[in-house]
Structure 1
């Protein structure tokens, strides 16, 4: 159990550092939207601001999600849960995190497929495609571009989504390890709610 708790501490530390940096992304988003307003009012309107604001929001949301889970900032239905003991909460959380892990796994696999498509791969084995990219057996095809007038390539934001989902998966595993330890009666700090 000590090794698993070490894993949980490492994941928590990594997601805490990433979250503390990513939380300033809201200022990037505000700057993009401010420039959009200024350029529409005083200059020629820019075509890139709306889509860039969407990309910034996706990065903020996806990379900040694991930090929100770590700090307990996520929304929780507290009808019965609040009155339960810490061990009972931990037992129920171990069960419910299994559903979260499955859901995140499906999302991650879908994100891998979508990213492979945006890199010009039209097959049905995205993991084999990325393995082939690493070994040199596969090549990047025609890059997917947005259908807007700006027409940026889409793969960078999809890679950020993969990173965010992977970090969320790691944080869910960390939470599961801590909940198993609490359910077994180990004395850990109470999770933030």
Structure 2
């Protein structure tokens, strides 16, 4: 494999590893927001922002950790037949099917970017009483999907290398 491809794979996997590990701490943010909501409700003053903030924290955790979970192989895979194949055959099948994932993520990213631009142009806000701006969470979603596309490309390069008898 060309050295640039190896550097790309290692760089993307290192980036996704670090971002995924940092995204894990968003569960503490989520727990803190929910704890605050419980305490505030116990004193009769439920805050308006906690439910939506918890949703934003969960979406951020899920999307920013997506590439990391792909990297770890924590995604759902039908291992009924796949698990019995040789690593080379798995790489061959993955090198073909990864294009479906890249296409899907590309469509999601295209729609996400369009939606984010729209949110910035009109100053889109949530329709709840709290009314937070929607552009920041949409930017996080686009960034997370972009990281998953990069991880998919790293998988493709890794699978091509395996088919050539090399390991990255």
Superposition TM-score tier, normalisation by shorter sequence: over 0.9
**Hey, what does 2:138 align to over in structure 1?**
158
Alpha-carbon shift at residue 162 of structure 1 (Å): 0.8
Distance 1:79 1:71 in 2: 19
Give the secondary structure class of the aligned counterpart of 1:119. helix
Distance 1:158 1:187 in 2: 36
**Hey, what does 2:106 align to over in structure 1?**
105
Is 1:8 aligned to 2:9, yes or no?
A: yes
Q: Relative to structure 1, is the Cα distance of residues 68 and 50 closer, same or farther in structure 2, using a 3 angstrom cutoff? A: same
**Hey, what does 2:91 align to over in structure 1?**
90
Give the secondary structure class of the aligned counterpart of 1:80. helix
What's the CA shift string for 1:11-53, capped at 9, x where partnerless?
Answer: 0001111111111111110111111111111240000000000
Instruction: State which of 147, 157, 161 in structure 2 corresponds to 1:181.
Output: 161
Alpha-carbon shift at residue 184 of structure 1 (Å): 1.5
Q: Where in structure 1 do 4 or more consecutive aligned residues deviate above 2 Å?
A: none
- Any residues of structure 2 matched to 1:28-43 within 5 Å, and which? 28-43=29-44
How many residue pairs were aligned? 167
Mark the runs of 5 or more structure 2 residues left unpaired by the alignment. Answer: none
Give the secondary structure class of the aligned counterpart of 1:83. coil
What's the CA shift string for 1:161-185, capped at 9, x where partnerless?
Answer: 1110111110000011101111111
Give the secondary structure class of the aligned counterpart of 2:36. helix
**RMSD over aligned Cα, in angstroms?**
0.9
* TM-score of the aligned structures, taking structure 2 as reference length: 0.96
Distance 1:21 1:6 in 2: 22
**Hey, what does 1:57 align to over in structure 2?**
58
Give the secondary structure class of the aligned counterpart of 1:169. helix
Name the structure with the higher helix share: 2
Is 1:171 aligned to 2:151, yes or no?
A: yes
Mark the runs of 5 or more structure 1 residues left unpaired by the alignment. Answer: 121-141, 189-193
Alpha-carbon shift at residue 79 of structure 1 (Å): 1.0
Distance 1:167 1:180 in 2: 20
Distance 1:168 1:187 in 2: 21
